[in-house]
């Protein structure tokens, strides 16, 4: 069947109209033959992309393992302590504290002064209020009017050091207000007095009725002993009660309260569990990406294929090096000493009960073994994942460069095949034109011969 086709930069050509050939089909077949090299390049690019993706995934897990290993290898990771209290009303926090304990009773909580006052009737039209604290410092605020609500707004200025509210001691229909003033900070030194300006332009003291006095928090250290002594604090937090330990009280406790600081066992366990879980992520990724798979084809033949990372020397070296760290001894002890074992499948298993027992019985040995293992693992992972010289990182860079190079070569083939197609279209179009001319000349000659024969007859 004849078809009409056009080519870029050429006149309209009739495909096979004269020759009867499927020139478009012939051209497509010839171009497909030439495109076999491009197809091979595309397959290579897909394989390189898959390898790069797998290497990046493994290296991400490797870098995570490096972070966990470096954390467990740091000496300061093993100095963390935890503070506990024998009373729920007393909390303690520790930072760089050493194991120790202290006993005390809580005899008083810190309080802020709270007072009540009747709004003075002799205030000026825009009264000023001066709040003077126990240490002699003072602040002055000015109200826009003598209305009680404007007075409250002025006293609530953050600079005043007090919080004010208007309390209605009358009725809804006949309100009568009192000013309630509360210090914004606690402690005996936070007590205050208030003066105001009168309509006569003088200063007068605001009559304050006490609700609660300002007071310090008070604890008694070592109660009932010859070393007993009292400590006071403006707030309910005793900062640095022991070296690196802050204690906060929230209720009076007549019975002695003990605050203890001990090594943070939970933090040490977390160092171990993080290291082991990240080790298993890396080992599991390697096992998964190097696994051999068998498939049976339609012809019954068995096809065996390796994982995308099979045979990769950098991956193999990482796997063997990590396995090697498990067989080492650290401070003369193996990893089994702290409850850590390596299975035949390359999986690390941590017996947390055994680890807990080891932390209680020989904490120094646990630190030596785990930090030693972590140091070894950190060295292995850094050698693989270092952004400049790491073996895995270098593999990734190499594969990414290959993908880019193959992409450029594939694009070059696109141009080459387009040029080849245009040349073939031009060639076959010229053939059709030549055949058409030949056919026209043959028809003319036949017509002339027929005419001559008719005349002679």
Q: Are residues 55 and 184 in the same domain?
A: no
Phi, psi of 199 (to 5 degrees): -65, -20
Q: What share of the chain is helix, strand, coil (3-state, %, to 5)?
A: 45, 25, 30
Q: Are residues 274 and 195 in the same domain?
A: no
- Looking at residue 41, its pLDDT comes to 85
Domain count, the chain: 3
> Which two tokens mark 284?
């599991």
CA 6 to chain centre: 57
**Which of 196, 212, 228 represents a domain boundary (last residue)?**
212
- Looking at residue 424, its pLDDT comes to 77
pLDDT tens for the 457 residues of the chain, in order: 444 444 444 444 445 545 556 777 777 777 678 778 878 888 988 888 989 999 999 999 999 999 999 999 999 999 999 999 999 999 999 988 999 999 999 999 999 999 999 999 999 999 999 999 999 999 999 999 999 999 999 999 999 999 999 999 999 999 999 999 999 999 999 999 999 999 999 999 999 999 999 999 999 999 999 999 999 999 999 999 999 999 999 999 989 999 999 999 999 999 999 999 999 999 999 999 998 887 777 777 777 777 889 989 999 999 999 999 999 999 999 999 999 999 998 999 999 999 999 999 999 999 999 999 999 999 999 999 999 999 999 999 999 999 898 888 888 887 787 887 887 778 777 776 776 777 666 666 666 666 666 666 5
Q: Are residues 365 and 269 in the same domain?
A: yes
Establish how many alpha carbons lie within 13 A of residue 348's alpha carbon, considering only the half-sphere containing its beta carbon: 27
Q: Are residues 35 and 139 in the same domain?
A: no
Question: Which residue reads 């390189």 in tokens?
Answer: 48
Q: Of 338, 363, 375, nearest to 81 (Cα)? A: 363
Residue 365's contacts (CB-CB under 8 Å, 6 or more residues apart) are 331, 333, 337, 338, 358
- Looking at residue 11, its pLDDT comes to 41
Distance CA 265, CA 273 (A): 12
Distance CA 104, CA 254 (A): 9
Q: Are residues 226 and 98 in the same domain?
A: yes
Q: Are residues 99 and 232 in the same domain?
A: yes
Q: How many CB atoms lie within 10 A of CB 161?
A: 19
Do the domain assignments include residue 456?
no
Do the domain assignments include residue 452?
no
Q: Are residues 347 and 425 in the same domain?
A: yes
Distance CA 68, CA 277 (A): 9
Angstrom distances, CA of residue 65 to CA of 272, 384, 403, 423: 12, 11, 28, 58
Do the domain assignments include residue 448?
no
Q: Are residues 101 and 173 in the same domain?
A: no
Do the domain assignments include residue 450?
no
- Looking at residue 96, its pLDDT comes to 86
Do the domain assignments include residue 453?
no
Do the domain assignments include residue 457?
no
**CA geometry: angle 139, 140, 146, nearest 5 deg:** 145
Distance CA 269, CA 28 (A): 68
Q: Are residues 74 and 139 in the same domain?
A: no
**Which of 169, 197, 212 represents a domain boundary (last residue)?**
212
- Looking at residue 32, its pLDDT comes to 78
Do the domain assignments include residue 247?
yes
Q: Are residues 268 and 369 in the same domain?
A: yes
Q: Are residues 382 and 432 in the same domain?
A: yes
Phi, psi of 304 (to 5 degrees): -110, 125
Q: Are residues 64 and 145 in the same domain?
A: no
> Which two tokens mark 355?
């680890």
**Which of 188, 212, 236 represents a domain boundary (last residue)?**
212
Do the domain assignments include residue 7?
yes
Distance CA 259, CA 247 (A): 8
Asked whether 374 and 72 are in contact (CB, 8 A), the reply is yes
Q: Residue 363 belongs to what domain range? A: 1-80+264-442
> Which two tokens mark 104?
């005390």
Question: Which residue reads 């972590």 in tokens?
Answer: 374
Question: Which residue reads 């009303």 in tokens?
Answer: 89
| pLDDT tens per residue, range 237-263 | 999 999 999 999 999 998 999 999 999
Distance CA 224, CA 31 (A): 102
């Amino acid at each position: 069947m004849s078809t009409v086709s056009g080519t870029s930069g050429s006149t309209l050509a009739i495909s096979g109209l004269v020759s009867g050939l499927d020139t478009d089909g012939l051209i497509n077949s010839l171009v497909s033959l030439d495109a076999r090299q491009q197809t091979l390049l595309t397959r290579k690019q897909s394989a390189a992309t898959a390898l790069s993706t797998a290497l990046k995934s493994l290296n991400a897990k490797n870098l995570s393992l490096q972070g966990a290993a470096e954390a467990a290898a740091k000496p300061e990771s093993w100095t963390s302590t935890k503070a506990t209290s024998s009373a729920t009303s007393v909390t303690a926090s520790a930072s760089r504290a050493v194991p120790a304990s202290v006993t005390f009773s809580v005899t008083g909580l810190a309080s802020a002064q709270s007072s009540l006052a009747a709004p003075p009737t002799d205030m000026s039209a825009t009264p000023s209020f001066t709040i003077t604290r126990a240490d002699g410092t003072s602040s002055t605020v000015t109200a826009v009017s003598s209305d009680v609500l404007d007075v409250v707004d002025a006293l609530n200025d953050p600079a005043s050091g007090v919080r004010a509210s208007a309390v209605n001691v009358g009725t809804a229909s006949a309100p009568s207000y009192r000013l309630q003033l509360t210090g914004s900070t606690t402690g005996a030194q936070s007590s205050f007095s208030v003066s105001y300006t009168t309509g006569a332009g003088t200063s007068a003291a605001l009559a304050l009725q006490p609700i609660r006095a300002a007071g310090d928090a008070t604890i008694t250290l070592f109660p009932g002993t010859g070393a007993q002594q009292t400590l006071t604090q403006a707030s309910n937090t005793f900062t640095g009660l022991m070296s690196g330990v802050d204690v906060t009280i929230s209720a009076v406790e007549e019975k002695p309260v003990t605050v203890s600081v001990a090594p943070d066992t939970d933090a040490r366990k977390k160092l171990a569990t993080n290291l082991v879980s990240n080790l298993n992520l890396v080992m599991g990724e390697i096992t998964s990406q190097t696994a051999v798979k068998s498939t049976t084809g339609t012809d019954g033949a068995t096809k065996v294929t390796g994982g995308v990372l099979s045979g990769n020397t950098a991956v193999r070296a990482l796997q063997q090096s990590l396995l090697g760290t498990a067989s080492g001894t650290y401070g003369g002890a193996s990893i089994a000493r702290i409850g850590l074992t390596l299975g035949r499948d390359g999986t690390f298993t941590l017996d947390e009960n055994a680890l807990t027992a080891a932390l209680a019985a020989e904490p120094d040995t646990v630190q030596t073994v785990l930090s030693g293992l972590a140091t070894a693992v950190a060295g292995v992972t850094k050698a693989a994942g270092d952004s400049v010289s790491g073996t895995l990182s270098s593999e990734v860079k190499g594969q990414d460069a290959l993908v880019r190079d193959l992409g450029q070569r594939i694009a070059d083939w696109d141009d080459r095949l387009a040029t080849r197609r245009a040349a073939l279209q031009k060639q076959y179009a010229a053939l059709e034109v030549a055949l058409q001319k030949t056919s026209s000349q043959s028809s003319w000659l036949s017509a002339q011969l027929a005419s001559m024969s008719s005349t002679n007859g």
